[in-house]
Amino acid sequence: MNWQPDWGLRGRMFLTMFLLFALYIVFAGVITTYVGGGIFVFALLFGGMSLVQYYFSDTLTLKTMGAKTVTADEHPQLHASIERLSQQADLPKPKVAVMDSSVPNAFATGRNQRNASVAVTTGLLQTLDQDELDGVLAHELAHVKNRDMMVMTIASFLSTIAFMVVRWGAFFGGGRNRQGGGIVVAIVASLVVWIISYLLIRALSRYREFAADRGAAVITGKPSALASALMKISGEVDKVPDKDLREEAEMNAFFIIPLKSGIVGKLFSTHPSTERRVERLRQLEREMEGF
């Protein structure tokens, strides 16, 4: 099978970004009306922060996760695998990073295909065989090829703005509204915007995982290897102590398998269930065998 543009993913990306921007236009209007001039300082501050996050997203993410960029001398086999898979995916080779963690997982980050990084944990390298590792690496490269990180970074930042207004709404007031209900209106509007953004982003995130699984199958030609890797990783994640999970739960959207987070976490998960992903990969395996 050849790589085909995923128009379902592209359509969902466009629709999500359109709805988010429309939502934030209304949001800005409400804030300006009820809060006053403070919104312009707010917009200037977070506009600058958004540019910093966009241009340095890979560096910030790697640093936050404690992942370190490694050379080919340090991890020759990992570098060789990523270089080979990048060629098969028709992508520039991304930076390679390793995170010292017993939790088997992987993620990709970066603003575009030429400024991307793929990181794996030491636990992943110890858990998977070569075919399974190739499947996981190809999944992350599929995220890079689909430009998922750029879209999710922008979308998540917009949601973060609304959340911060909810959290620190008392600091944004001015003039006649300082003692009135303007702040309450702004906080309520921010809460509504944040909830809607939250749901839109997670719906998009779940679909992009299916798209990346399919992309990985096309790159490697072995859907069953990725299915096996997902089951192994999921089984190992279930054994991780809650303390370790809490330390890494903030980065769930980046991982190939989300860390367990209870009933509410599963309801609003950034990923579809492992069972559904494995079922789709097995179906894809049957389709590829028919070619």
Phi then psi dihedrals of residue 256, to 5 deg: -75, -30
pLDDT at 188 (0 to 100): 75
51 vs 45: CA distance, rounded Å: 10
Chain Cα centroid distance, residue 235: 21
Residue 79 in this model has a pLDDT that exceeds 90 = yes
DSSP annotation of 240: S
Mean pLDDT of the chain: 78
153 vs 96: CA distance, rounded Å: 20
Q: Does 52 map to a domain?
A: yes
Q: Which of 140, 209, 236, 285 is catalytic?
A: 140
Q: How confident is the model at residue 32 (pLDDT cuts 50, 70, 90)?
A: low
Q: Does 2 map to a domain?
A: no
Cβ(237)–Cβ(260) under 8 Å?
yes
Q: Does 139 map to a domain?
A: yes
Q: What are the tens digits of pLDDT across the range 230-289?
A: 999 988 756 655 444 444 444 545 566 665 544 444 545 677 888 999 999 999 898 887
30 vs 72: CA distance, rounded Å: 53
Which amino acid type is present at position 56?
A: F
CA dihedral 247, 253, 257, 262 (to 10 degrees): 60
Higher-confidence position of 204 and 208:
208
Residue 87 in this model has a pLDDT that exceeds 80 = yes
Cβ(136)–Cβ(104) under 8 Å?
no
Q: How many C-beta atoms lie closer than 10 Å to residue 8's C-beta?
A: 11
Average pLDDT over residues 110-122: 92
110 vs 51: CA distance, rounded Å: 13
Q: How confident is the model at residue 55 (pLDDT cuts 50, 70, 90)?
A: confident
Residue 104 in this model has a pLDDT that exceeds 60 = yes
Q: How confident is the model at residue 119 (pLDDT cuts 50, 70, 90)?
A: very high
Q: How many domains does the chain have?
A: 1
Known catalytic residue at 285 = no
Q: How many C-beta atoms lie closer than 10 Å to residue 84's C-beta?
A: 14
Closest CA to 143 of 184, 183, 106: 106
Q: Does 73 map to a domain?
A: yes
By residue range, what is the domain housing residue 184?
Answer: 7-289
Q: Does 1 map to a domain?
A: no
Residue 40 in this model has a pLDDT that exceeds 80 = no
- CA distances (Å), 251 to each of 18, 40, 156, 197, 255, in order? 25, 30, 12, 17, 7
Q: What are the tens digits of pLDDT across the range 144-195?
A: 999 887 777 777 666 666 666 666 654 544 444 444 456 677 667 767 777 7
